[in-house]
Amino acid sequence: MATDPYREFRQAADRPEEQIDLGRAALTISLPEYPTLDFSAFLGRISDLALEVTERAGVDADVFRSIAALNFVLFARHGFSGNRDDYYDPKNSFLNQVIERKTGIPITLSVLYMEVAERVGLTVNGVGFPGHFMVTVRADGNEIVIDPFNSGDIKTEEDLAVMLQQMYGGKLGFRREFLAPVSKKQILTRMLTNLKAIYVKANDMVKTLGTLDRLLILDPASAADTRDRGVIYTRLECFGQAKDDFERYLELAPDADDATAVREQLIELAKQVVLIH
């Protein structure tokens, strides 16, 4: 029986939302690059950070004091920061490397922030803000927006509007829905989508394929990822697998703009499969 290369990821992520341990699931994304990764060691380091936060906040800490303690421990004492010098380094997408190197991108630093916060009793939600992942905390009926990539800065709606202006040149205005909480599976999907883009840019088809496999574990009905995996299989000359994915894509999205092109590709793939056999 073949070994499942994604066993740890599947066990951690392919389960009901409330049963997902986000920290462990995020760490499994690192396994293809770090197959001997010690989960207990890195989860223990997250717990150690939480202990420091608890000690600094004190026994009677409210939400605001806990946030202040969390920001101090992560960003002042330990020096976690956004990696602006090498933003597209794949290491920024691996939680173990973020913990080790104390730098990362918005989503991995947010996952670390969320995991430490959970251990000190704070309810922190991930927010899929366009182009820049952040977190929110409810306090006294208000929603506090925190930016772990920028040392835990508190963002007002005016700040967020300015960020959108800078990123999108006025083509996208601020909307409250941008602060809607996202699920753990959506966070894992965004982490993997970032990696997918990095590997595609590097023309690393094998790593791109592995990333797409895991995206489809999270959402087997993702038409775009099914099509993209078919494209990668074609480039790797795995024509039978490519044919299966393109057929599945047409089942999922029969009226897609590129459906005709995919049907034409299937005709060519059928010829390749015959030649191989």
Task: Determine the Cα–Cα distance for residues 70 and 115; give it in Å rounded to an integer.
Answer: 11
H/E stretch holding 164 reads helix 157-168
Q: What tokens does 258 get?
A: 């590129």
pLDDT at 1: 44
Report the topology of domain 7-179: C8orf32 fold (3.10.620)
Give residue 134's pLDDT band: very low, low, confident or very high (50, 70, 90).
Answer: very high
The alpha carbons of the chain give a radius of gyration, in whole angstroms, of: 21
Of residues 275 and 271, which shows the higher confidence score? Answer: 271
Is 249 within 8 Å of 227 (Cβ atoms)?
yes
125 Cβ partners below 8 Å, 6+ apart? 114, 135, 136, 137, 181, 182
pLDDT at 3: 67
Domain positions in the chain: 7-179, 221-276
> How does pLDDT run across 156-198, given as a tens digit for each residue?
999 999 999 999 998 898 999 999 999 999 999 999 999 999 9
pLDDT at 170: 84
pTM of the model: 0.93
CA distances from 87 to 103, 106, 194, 270 (A): 10, 10, 11, 41
> How does pLDDT run across 209-258, given as a tens digit for each residue?
999 999 999 999 999 999 999 999 999 999 999 999 999 999 999 999 99
Question: Of the candidates 187, 170, 174, 97, which has an alpha carbon nearest to the alpha carbon of residue 135?
Answer: 187
Q: Say if strands 81-82 and 103-104 run parallel, antiparallel, or are unpaired.
A: parallel
Q: What tokens does 252 get?
A: 């999922």
